[in-house]
Structure 1
Amino acid sequence: MAWLFRLSLTVWILIATVVGIAIGWAAPEFAVSTAPLADLFLRLIKLLVVPLIFGTLVVGIAGHGDDLSAVGRIALKVAVYFTATTILALTIALIVVNTARPGDGVALPKNDDQATAAKLAEIEAAEAKAGLKDQSMLADLIRKAVPESFFNAAATNQVLQVVVFAVLFASGLTMVTTERRQPMLSFCDALAETMLNVTKIVMYYAPIGIGAAIGVAVGSSGLGVLWTLAYMVGTLYVALLLFVGLVLVPVLLVWRIPLRPFAREIRTPFLIAFTTASSEAALPLAMERLERLGVPKRIVAFVMPTGYSFNLDGSTLYLAIASIFAAQAGGIELSLPQQLLIMGTLLLTSKGVAAVPRASLVILTATLTSFKLPLEAIVLIMGVDAFMDMARTSVNLTGNCVASCVIARWEGDVEPGSALDLTAAAAPPPPAPASPPAQAG
C-alpha cells in the first residue's frame, strides 16, 4: 500500500475523476448528496485568492524599483495579446460552427413549456442579481472595475477590483521612502509566501473535492442528456482543440517557450480547472507553477488575475458557437455580416465574464435577445452546460498561463536558470574532468 502515497497529485485527480463519473452514473442521488464536499474545496480555494493576488502584485510592482512605466508597458502588451487571441478564438468558432452546423435538425422546446419558462426565469434572476438588467455588459464592467471598498471586494472575491486596488496601492507605495516602504513589502512578501504554502495544504484535499464535483455534475445532469446533444458538445470540444493546436501551441513555439516543461507544470492546474469547472480553483496553484517555470512573480501576479477577467478565450469561443447554434436550431440563416456583428459584440461583452455568477449564460441570453434569436435554445444548452463548462474553463486557464509566459519573454524578464531562460539552455555543458594519466607498466 506504500505505493499509493507515492502517486502524484495529478494521478490522484484522474483517479478521483473516474470514481466520480462512476458514482454519478451508478448512484446519482448519492452523488448529488456529496455536493458539500465539492463546495468545501471551492470555498477553501476562494479563501486563498485575494490575499495571494494582493501580496504578490504589491511586491511585484513596488518591490522592483520606482519605475511605474514598466507597469503601463506590461498592461499595454497584455491588452494587445488578449485582444489578438480573442479575435482568433472567435474566428475559429465561426468557421467550426458554420462547418459542423450542430443546430440543424435540433427541436427547440415550445414557448408554453413550463420547464422552459422556469429555466429562462432562472437566467433572468441571475442577470438581475448581477446588476446587468437594462445595461450593457461593457458599461457594467467599467463601473464595477473600481471597488467602493477594498474589504467588500475581498469579501466577495471580486478579482478585478482587487487587482485595481493592488495596482493603485503598489503605485502609491513606490512613492514613499525606502525606509517606510520596506516593512509593507516584507509583510506582503510574507503574506504571498504563506498563502502559497496554504495552497499546498489545501491541495491534499483536492481529489476528494474534485471527485465529488464530477459526481454531482454527472448525477444531476445524467449521461443521457449528454448523448442527446453530443454533436453540440463535440463541436465545442473540436473548436477548443483547434484553438489550442492552431493558436496556443504556435504562440509557445514562436516565443520559444519549451513545450514539455510548460505542459508538465500546468497539467495539474489544468485538471483542477477541468474537473471543477472553476478558474478560481486552479488559480493559486497555476501561479505557483508559473513561477517555478521561470515567470517572474510580478508578471504572474498581474497577468493571471487580469486574464481571469479579460482573457477567457474558451468562454468566448463557447459563446460564439452557442449563439450561432441557437440561430441554426431556430431555422434562422444569418448572413456573414450579421455573424461578424455578433462576434464583434461578443469581443466586448465577454470581457469581465468571470466576475458574474453563471455569466456565460447571462451574456448568451443578452446576445440572443439583442439579435432576436430564439431564447429556447438556452434550455437545451443548460442541460449539457456542465460538460461544456469544464472544457472552456480549462482552456481559459491554459490561455492565461501561455499569456504569462509570453509577456515574460516579451519583457525579456525570466528567472535565471529556469526552463524559460534561453541563455541557460544554450550554455555549453561543463567540460568533463580529465582522465588520470595511464600508469607506466
Structure 2
Amino acid sequence: MTMAMETTVDRTAGKKQKTELGLAIQIAIGLIAGIIIGVVLNRLPELRAAVVTDYLQPAGDVFIRLIKMIVVPIVFTSMVVGIAGVGDGKSLGRIGLKTLIYFEIITTIAIVIGLVFGNLLEPGAGTDLSQLGKVDVSRFQQAGTRATGHHGLMQLILGIIPDNVFASMAKGDLLPIIFFSVLFGLALQAISEDARKPVLAVLKGISDAMFRVTGMVMRYAPIGVAALIAVTVSNFGFSSLLPLMKLVGVTYLAICVFTVLVLGATAKLFGFSIFALLRVIKDELLIAFSTCSSATVLPQLMKKVEDYGVPKAIATFVVPTGYTFNLDGASIYLGIGTLFVAQLYGVHLGLQEQIVLTLTMVVTSKGAAGVPGFMFVILLATLASAGLPLEGLAFIAGVDRLMDMGRTALNVVGNALAPLVIAKWEGQYDAEKGRAYLATLK
C-alpha cells in the first residue's frame, strides 16, 4: 500500500512538472500578448495614451526597477566572494589583461562588420528625407558633444575609480563597483583566515539570498515583458517607419552574420558550440530582446555561465566588465548608423575616413553603457567627429527601439561567450560540469 501511494505521488509530481511552463515559454507568451495589445492600442489612439501612461508603462517599469534593485548587491558580493575565496592577485591580473584584449578584438571586428554591411548594402542610399519622421534628440546633443572630448584613455581610467563607492552603487555604475570589488576582494584575501572567514560567509550568504530574490523577480518577467513590448508596438507609426525598414533589415542581417560567423568561429576555436550556448541562455535572450535592457539578465547570466562550467571568480569578473567593454551589438550599430547618416545626406566617406572612424568608435564605445540613451550619445559623438550632420540621428530615432532589441540580444550573447573563452584560455573550464549542465536542458 505504501509503495502504491509513493507511485501515485511520483506520477502526480511528474504530471505537475510536465504541465508547468518554462520561463522561456512564459516570456514568449507575454511577448505575443504584448504585441497583440500594442497593435490594438495603435489603432485606438484615443485610448492608447491613457492605457500606456497609466498601466502599461508603469507595469514595465516595475520589472526594470526590480532588476536594477538586485544587480549591484549581486555583482559586489559575487565578485568579492569569487576573488577572495578562490582567486589571487597574480591570476586576476592575468585574467583581466586577457579579458580586455579579447573584448578589444571582438568589438573592433564588430565595428568593421557594421561598416562593411553599411558599405555593401547602403541602407541610407536613395532614401527621401521628406518621407521620414523626425524625433527630437536635442537632449542628447550636449552629452554627445561632451563625449567627443572626454573619452580619452586617462578620462576612462579616472571614471573607473569611484570618489564615493556608495554613490556609484546608488547610480548603478558598474565599472567603479567592479574596481572597488576587486580591491576589496584582494584585501580580504590578504588578511588572516580568522578575520576573512566570517566576512566571506556573510557575503556568500547575501549572494545566495540575492540569487533567490532574482528567481522571485523572474516570476514577474512575462508580465513586465508584455507591458514593455506593448508600449513599443502601440507607439509605432508604421507608415513613417516603412522608409527605414531597410536600415532595420541591414542591422539584423549584420547581427545574425556576426553571431553565426564571428562568435560561432570564436566559440568553435575554444571548443564550444554557439548554438549550444544560445540554448543555455534562451530565457535571458528573450528577456533582453523584449526589454532592450541587458542589465535585466546580468544576475542570471553570471549564474548560467557558472553552471555551464566557468569558475565563479572568472564569471563574476568577466560578465559585469563586458557590460561596459564588450558591447558587440552596439559596435555593429555604430558602423551601420554612421554610414546610414552619411548616405542619407549624400556624403561620401573614403577608406581613410572610415579607418579613422573605426579608431574613433573603438574609443567612444567604451565606458558609456551606464548613460541613459548611451547609443545616441556615442553615435552623436561619432557623427560629430566625422563632420556629419547631427540632425541625421533624429530620422532614425523612431526605429531605434526595433534595432535596440536585436543589438541588446547580441550584447548578451557576446557577454555569455566571453567568460567561456577566458576560462578555457586560462585552462580553468570545467568541461564535465558543462556537459552535465547541457544534458539537463535536453
TM (norm. structure 2) is 0.89
Distance in 1, Cα, partners of 2:216 & 2:436? 30
Distance in 2, Cα, partners of 1:225 & 1:179? 66
Query: What percent identity do the matched residue pairs reach?
Result: 39
Aligned to 2:83: 61
Aligned to 1:44: 66
SS in 2 for 1:324: helix
SS in 2 for 1:355: coil
CA displacement at 1:209 relative to structure 2: 0.3
- 2:180 maps to 1:172: no
SS in 1 for 2:366: coil
Contact 2:144–2:376 (8 Å) recurs in 1 = no
TM (norm. structure 1) is 0.89
CA displacement at 1:264 relative to structure 2: 2.2
Contact 2:110–2:258 (8 Å) recurs in 1 = yes
Aligned to 1:20: 34
Distance in 2, Cα, partners of 1:218 & 1:137? 38
Greater displacement, 30-39 / 335-344: 30-39
Aligned to 2:117: 96
SS in 1 for 2:236: helix
Task: Write out per-residue CA displacement over residues 136-194 of structure 1, whole angstroms, 9 at most, x where no aligned residue.
Answer: 36554333211111111111100111101000111111211111111111111111111
Selected match of 1:265 from 280, 283, 290: 280
CA displacement at 1:393 relative to structure 2: 0.7
Contact 2:148–2:385 (8 Å) recurs in 1 = no
CA displacement at 1:239 relative to structure 2: 0.6
Unaligned runs of 5+ in 1: 426-441
**Greater helix percent: which structure?**
2
Distance in 2, Cα, partners of 1:176 & 1:2? 50
- 2:309 maps to 1:294: yes
Contact 1:32–1:220 (8 Å) recurs in 2 = no
Distance in 2, Cα, partners of 1:4 & 1:231? 43
CA displacement at 1:132 relative to structure 2: 4.3
Could you tell me which amino acid in structure 2 is paired with residue 366 of structure 1?
A
Could you tell me which amino acid in structure 2 is paired with residue 40 of structure 1?
V
Could you tell me which amino acid in structure 2 is paired with residue 417 of structure 1?
E
Distance in 1, Cα, partners of 2:369 & 2:271? 30
Distance in 1, Cα, partners of 2:113 & 2:277? 24
Aligned to 1:215: 230
CA displacement at 1:124 relative to structure 2: 2.2
Task: Write out per-residue CA displacement over residues 178-219 of structure 1, whole angstroms, 9 at most, x where no aligned residue.
Answer: 111111111111111111111111000000001111111111
1:391-406 correspondence runs (5 A): 391-406=406-421
1:129-278 correspondence runs (5 A): 132=147, 135-136=150-151, 140-259=155-274, 261-278=276-293
Aligned to 2:352: 337
Label 1:343 to 1:140 Cα distance change in 2 as closer, same or farther (>3 A): same
Unaligned runs of 5+ in 2: 1-14, 43-47
CA displacement at 1:253 relative to structure 2: 1.2
Could you tell me which amino acid in structure 1 is paired with residue 125 of structure 2?
D
Distance in 2, Cα, partners of 1:194 & 1:3? 25
Could you tell me which amino acid in structure 1 is paired with residue 160 of structure 2?
A
Label 1:420 to 1:410 Cα distance change in 2 as closer, same or farther (>3 A): farther
CA displacement at 1:122 relative to structure 2: 2.1
Aligned to 1:107: 128
Contact 2:289–2:405 (8 Å) recurs in 1 = yes
Label 1:5 to 1:211 Cα distance change in 2 as closer, same or farther (>3 A): farther
Aligned to 1:428: none
CA displacement at 1:414 relative to structure 2: 2.6
Distance in 2, Cα, partners of 1:236 & 1:124? 24
SS in 2 for 1:281: helix
Aligned to 2:320: 305
- 2:91 maps to 1:70: yes
Contact 2:111–2:334 (8 Å) recurs in 1 = no
Distance in 2, Cα, partners of 1:137 & 1:15? 45
Distance in 1, Cα, partners of 2:436 & 2:32? 38
Contact 2:310–2:419 (8 Å) recurs in 1 = yes
Distance in 2, Cα, partners of 1:260 & 1:321? 26
Greater displacement, 362-371 / 396-405: 362-371
Label 1:132 to 1:101 Cα distance change in 2 as closer, same or farther (>3 A): closer
- 2:145 maps to 1:124: no
CA displacement at 1:356 relative to structure 2: 1.1
Task: Write out per-residue CA displacement over residues 40-80 of structure 1, whole angstroms, 9 at most, x where no aligned residue.
Answer: 00000011111101111111111015x31000010011011
Label 1:258 to 1:326 Cα distance change in 2 as closer, same or farther (>3 A): closer
Selected match of 1:351 from 366, 378, 383: 366
Contact 1:41–1:205 (8 Å) recurs in 2 = yes
Aligned to 2:11: none
Contact 1:108–1:329 (8 Å) recurs in 2 = yes
Aligned to 1:435: none
Contact 2:110–2:332 (8 Å) recurs in 1 = yes
SS in 1 for 2:281: helix
Distance in 2, Cα, partners of 1:140 & 1:394? 29
Distance in 2, Cα, partners of 1:7 & 1:329? 47
Distance in 2, Cα, partners of 1:258 & 1:352? 30
Could you tell me which amino acid in structure 2 is paired with residue 274 of structure 1?
F
Could you tell me which amino acid in structure 2 is paired with residue 354 of structure 1?
A
Task: Write out per-residue CA displacement over residues 291-348 of structure 1, whole angstroms, 9 at most, x where no aligned residue.
Answer: 1111111111000000001000110110111011111111011111101111110011
CA displacement at 1:416 relative to structure 2: 6.5
SS in 2 for 1:27: helix
SS in 2 for 1:418: helix
Count of paired positions: 417
